[in-house]
Amino acid sequence: MTTSLFWFAFVSFALSLILTPIFRDIFRSYNVVDQPDHGRKIHKYPIPRVGGMAIACAYVACFLLVPLFTHNPYQAQLSLVWGLLPAAGVIFAVGVIDDLFGLKPSQKLLGQLAGSGLAYWSGVRVVDVVGFSTQDWWSLPVTILWLLTCTNAFNLVDGMDGLAAGVGMFATLTMFIAALMHGNMPLALATIPLAGCLLGFLCYNFNPATIFLGDSGSLTIGFLLGCYGVIWTQKSATLLGMTAPLMALSIPLIDVGLAITRRMLRRQPIFSADRGHIHHRLLDRGLTPKRAVLVLYGLCSLVAIFSLFQSVSRNDRVSGVIILLFCAVAWVGIQYLGYAEFSAAGRMLFPGNFQKALKAQLDLHALEKQLSEAQSVEECWRAVSDSASKFGFHCVRMEVAGQSFEGAEQHGPGTRRWDLRIPLSATGYVEFSRELKSPSLSTIVGPFVDVIHASLLSRFRYLRDRADSSAAEKASLVDDSLAASGLTKSESVS
C-alpha cells in the first residue's frame, strides 16, 4: 500500500513539475496572461493564467501511467476517481473557457450546477450535517450548495502568489491523512496525486510566481476538494457530519462567507470585486505578500489539526470542545483583520443601538404621518416642534409664508451648538440646533432631513392650493349672487 501511494505522489509531482513550465511558455507566447492593475492584482508584469491545465493533465496522466510500470493492487479502488472525472471535467471546461474567452457569472454558475449535478449522480452526497440527516430529498440541494461554495471559495481566495495552490495542498493532505486513519483507500488514492500536483505547481507559483492557477485551476481544485470532503464524512467516525471537512476547508470558506456578508452590509453586488479578502487585509496590516501567504499556511496547518482530531473523536463532549476552540481561533483571527463592517454592525446590535435605530425609524414614520394629516401651518409647526426633542434637538425655528415660529429649551451660558437648516422656499426654512456633545445622529440625520423637507413642501403646497381653491369658490359665489339680483360687481360697489 505504501509503495503504491508513494508512486502516485511521486509521478504526479514529477508530471506537474514538467508540464507546468511547458504550459506557461506556450500560453505566454499566445499572450494568454493576467495583466496587473496596481489594485487587486498586485503582480508587476503579465503572467500566464492557465496553470490549471498543467495540474489537470498531470492528475489524470498519473492514474494512467503508474499502473504501467508498477504492480498496483488497488486498481479496482480507483472507481472513485473515474466516477468523478466527468463532473470535474465539466468544472474544468468552465474554467478554461473563462480563462481564454471570459464568462458571465451566471454562465459560470450554470456550468458549476451541471458539474455538481453530475457529482451527485455519481454518488457524492451529503447525508449528515451536524447530526441532522439529509437522506431524503434535502440531500440534493445541500450537496449542490456545498460543492458550489467550495468551488467558488477557492476561486475567490486565489489572489496572491501560491495562496490557493498552497491552501489546496494543505487541505488535500489533511483529507489524505484522514483517509489513512479511517482505512478509506479509494479516498487516499484520489487525494495523494492531487497533493503531488499542487506541490509541483507551487515550485512555479510561489512568490514570485511565473504562472497562475486561473479559473481552470482554482475552480477544479475547489470542486474536487468539496467532493472529497463529502466522501471523507461517509466513512468518518464522528457523529457531527461535515464538521471535519468544514474545518479543513475553513480558510477559503471563511473568506467567501466574510466577502458575502461584507458586501451585503455595504449593499454591494455579491459578485463584485474588492480588496477586502483575508489576504488583502493581511497586506494592509503591513505584511509582505510572501509573509502573508506563510501566515495563511500556518493557519491551514492549525485547522488541519483541529479537523483531524474532530474526525477521529468518538466523544461528543470532546468534539464540542474542539469545535469551540476552532470557533475561538476563527473569531480572534477575524478580529485581528479589523473589518469595519462587522465592528459597525456589532455596535448597532449589541449595546442597544439597534433598538435606538428602530425607535428613530418609527418616530420618523410617525412624523411623516402627522405632517401628511396636518390641516394648517400651525399643525405642521406642532408636529415639527414635537419631533425636535425626540431626535435630540434643543431648539427649532420655522419661517414660512411670512409667519415665524420658534421653540427652544434653556441652555447654560457658553453652550456650543451646531445648526441644521432645511430650506423650504426662497425665504422659508426650518432650522434645528443641537449641542456639540450630544449623542451622534449620523444614521438618522439624512432620513430626518428628507422627511422634513419632502413632507413640509408637499403639505404647504396642498394647503396653498386649498386656500386658493376656497378663495376662488367664494368669488364665484359672490358673482352668482350678483347675477341673480341683476347687478354687476361695479354697480354693487357704487
Rounded to 5 degrees, φ, ψ at 58 are: -65, -40
Whole-number pLDDT of residue 192: 95
For cell 491551514, the residue is 300
pLDDT over 60 (residue 379): yes
Q: How far apart are CA 228 and CA 74, in angstroms?
A: 18
CA proximity to 227, closest of 163, 311, 143: 143
- The whole-angstrom separation of Cα 121 and Cα 90 is 14
pLDDT band at 176 (very low <50, low <70, confident <90, very high): very high
Contact between 59 and 193 under an 8 Å Cβ cutoff? The reply is yes
In this prediction, residue 275 carries a pLDDT of 79
Identify the pLDDT of residue 407. Answer: 82
3-state secondary structure (DSSP) of residue 142: helix
Mean pLDDT calculated for residue range 230-258: 80
Average pLDDT value for residue range 180-194:
91
Checking if the pLDDT of 53 tops 90, the result is: yes
- pLDDT above 60 (res 214): yes
Amino acid 220: pLDDT: 96
Give me the mean pLDDT over the 8-23 stretch. Answer: 95
Per-residue confidence at 133, pLDDT binned at 50, 70, 90? Answer: low
pLDDT above 50: residue 321? yes
pLDDT for residue 197: 97
Average pLDDT over residues 329-335: 88
Mean pLDDT, rounded, for 405-409: 78
Task: Indicate the pLDDT class of residue 58, thresholds 50, 70 and 90.
Answer: very high
Where are the chain's structural domains?
2-348, 353-482
DSSP class of residue 294 equals H
pLDDT score of 1: 63
Can you give the pLDDT at residue 15?
A: 96
Contact between residue 175 and residue 162 where contact means Cβ atoms under 8 Å apart: no
Check pLDDT > 70 for residue 187. yes
Band (258; pLDDT cuts 50, 70, 90):
confident
Q: Which residue has the higher pLDDT, 339 or 337?
A: 337
Q: Phi, psi (5° rounding) for residue 396?
A: -140, 140
Q: Can you give the pLDDT at residue 37? A: 66
pLDDT in tens, 287-310: 998 999 999 999 999 999 999 988
Computed over every residue of the chain, the mean pLDDT equals 83
Residues 6+ apart with CB under 8 A from 274: 40, 259, 262, 263, 268
Mean pLDDT of 230-242: 70
Give dist(CA 183, CA 235) in Å, integer: 9
At the topology level, CATH places domain 353-482 in: Beta-Lactamase (3.30.450)
pTM here?
Answer: 0.73
The pLDDT value recorded for residue 494 is: 43
Task: Give me the amino acid identity at 404.
Answer: S
Asked if pLDDT for residue 73 goes beyond 80, the answer is no
Residue 490 has pLDDT above 50, yes or no: no
Residue 84 CA to residue 68 CA, distance in Å, equals 22
Please give the backbone phi and psi of residue 35, each rounded to the nearest 5 degrees, phi first.
Answer: -85, 135
* Mean pLDDT computed over 405-414: 66
